[in-house]
A and B are shown apart, each in its own frame.
Chain A
Amino acid sequence: MYTQGLNEQTGRPVAAEATEDEARLRAFQARIDAEEKIEPKDWMPDAYRQTLIRQISQHAHSEIVGMLPEGNWITRAPSLMRKSILIAKVQDEGGHGAYLYSAAETLGVSRAELIDQLLSGRAKYSSIFNYPTLSWADVGAIGWLVDGAAIMNQIPLCRCSYGPYARAMIRICKEESFHQRQGYDIMLKLARGTAAQRRMAQDALDRWWWPSLMMFGPPDAASMHTAHSVRWKIKRFTNDELRQKFVDFTVPQAKFLGLNVPDPALRWDAEAGMHRYGEIDWTEFNQVLKGHGPCNRERLAERRAAHEDGRWVREAAAAHAAKHGARAAA
């Protein structure tokens, strides 16, 4: 999902917990098993802390980079109402990034360090944001599919064992529903519009469908962190379970729009009570994750430029605070 890069080993391996005090570990796991929440000052295994820092910060980075593809259409939104909605949505994404950085910081990592990891290219963010937004319909497809997939993943995270992350997710989930519905509303307008508008909607679905399925991360068999994360109740469902649920929810929505899901293998399996879908191109997924997607370089360059362009503002604010702080002390 927004944290697909967890498979990459940086820093310490998860096995580091073996060195921690056994009794404390048992007590910790007992608290998790009893559905107690872990709070910032509670003792926790180092591997739990590191897993959460990576997951929450990747999630935060995804929200921040996620502002870019849609921000691309703010000045070209087709009406003042659509523009106002899009600005509000992009502002929400920035807010989500802020909630999540705030949650990550409770684990002892600094905001500056996290921003630095993103801007230097060391941190991962969701592969989905490395695809371009070529038409207005893409803004609709992102809200409907990308935010739809995000909701699928984020609802179980509201029950995550780490208190600050769970609370941030509750706040985020309340806001995501608006994102998904405004996206579907855009698709609906296009689908009921002219032939050219319907073609735009279909083209957007064609390009966003598979990357949306990839958002759930590698298949369970190839996912290294699932077992640990499930035991610690950071993760409640596997990648494949969530992906399946997303397909089952979304296919009827596409049908209602009169659009075709671009998967010739897609069919309803009445016996199993679920949709069967075709093979996902994991080579493409891995390429995008490694930095070779259509927009990886552009996204990072934009983030860096925004950070540099804002430097004078940060410096001025710090100077202002220092001056007034000194005056108040005098």
Chain B
Amino acid sequence: MSDTRDWPLYEIFIRARGGLDHKHVGSVHAADATMAIEHARDVYTRRMEGISIWAVRATDITASDPAESDALFEPARDKIYRHPTFYDIPKEVETL
């Protein structure tokens, strides 16, 4: 009854205001990238939620695997010396 296949899926990222990052808001199906932008405008910015839209083919995104996240992020886990609060600086020392 419906068409044999879906239009490709585009993930949509929107910049809410100048100075902010584009943020993922959801996805739309579209025949091409131009239509993806138009659909994203209609679906995600009906109340001026954005000033800029990125549309990325969902198949072009490579994502890390949550099941592997322990191993993936392990290198950062024991390096608390990367945080400024790791260091005890005497009170007398100022502007540091």
Determine if B93 is an interface residue (Cβ-Cβ < 8 Å). no
In angstroms, Cα B42 to Cα A95, docked, is: 8
Determine if B76 is an interface residue (Cβ-Cβ < 8 Å). no
The smallest C-beta distance from A111 to any residue of chain B, in angstroms, reads: 5
Q: Are A95 and B43 in contact (CB under 8 A)?
A: yes
Closest chain A residue, CB of each to CB of B43: A98
* Interface residues in B1-19 (C-beta closer than 8 Å to A): 1-7, 9
Taking a contact as CB atoms closer than 8 A, the residue among B28, B31, B43 that contacts A318 in the complex is B31
Q: Are B3 and A311 in contact (CB under 8 A)?
A: yes
**Contact-residue size bin, chain B (C-beta under 8 Å from the other chain):** 20 to 34
In angstroms, Cα B27 to Cα A175, docked, is: 18
The smallest C-beta distance from A27 to any residue of chain B, in angstroms, reads: 11
| Chain A positions within 8 Å of B7 at CB level | 314, 317-318
Where chain B touches its partner, the secondary structure class is loop
Q: Are A111 and B3 in contact (CB under 8 A)?
A: no
* Interface residues in A89-117 (C-beta closer than 8 Å to B): 91-92, 95, 98-99, 102-103, 105, 110-112, 115-116
| Chain A positions within 8 Å of B29 at CB level | 111
| Chain A positions within 8 Å of B63 at CB level | 41
Binds B, one of A75-83, A130-138, A233-241, A319-327: A319-327
Interface string of A264-300 (1 = CB under 8 A from B): 0000000000000000000000000000000000000
| Chain A positions within 8 Å of B42 at CB level | 91, 95
Which residues of B approach A to under 8 Å, CB–CB? 1-7, 9, 25-29, 31-32, 35, 42-43, 46-47, 63, 65-67
Q: With A95-B43, A314-B3 given, can you name 7 additional A-B contacts, CB distance below 8 Å?
A: A41-B66, A42-B66, A91-B46, A102-B28, A112-B6, A317-B7, A321-B32
- 25 A-B pairs (CB sep. < 8 Å): A41-B63, A41-B66, A42-B66, A43-B66, A95-B43, A95-B46, A99-B26, A102-B26, A102-B27, A105-B9, A111-B9, A111-B29, A112-B5, A115-B2, A116-B1, A116-B2, A119-B1, A120-B1, A314-B31, A317-B7, A318-B7, A320-B32, A321-B35, A324-B32, A325-B32
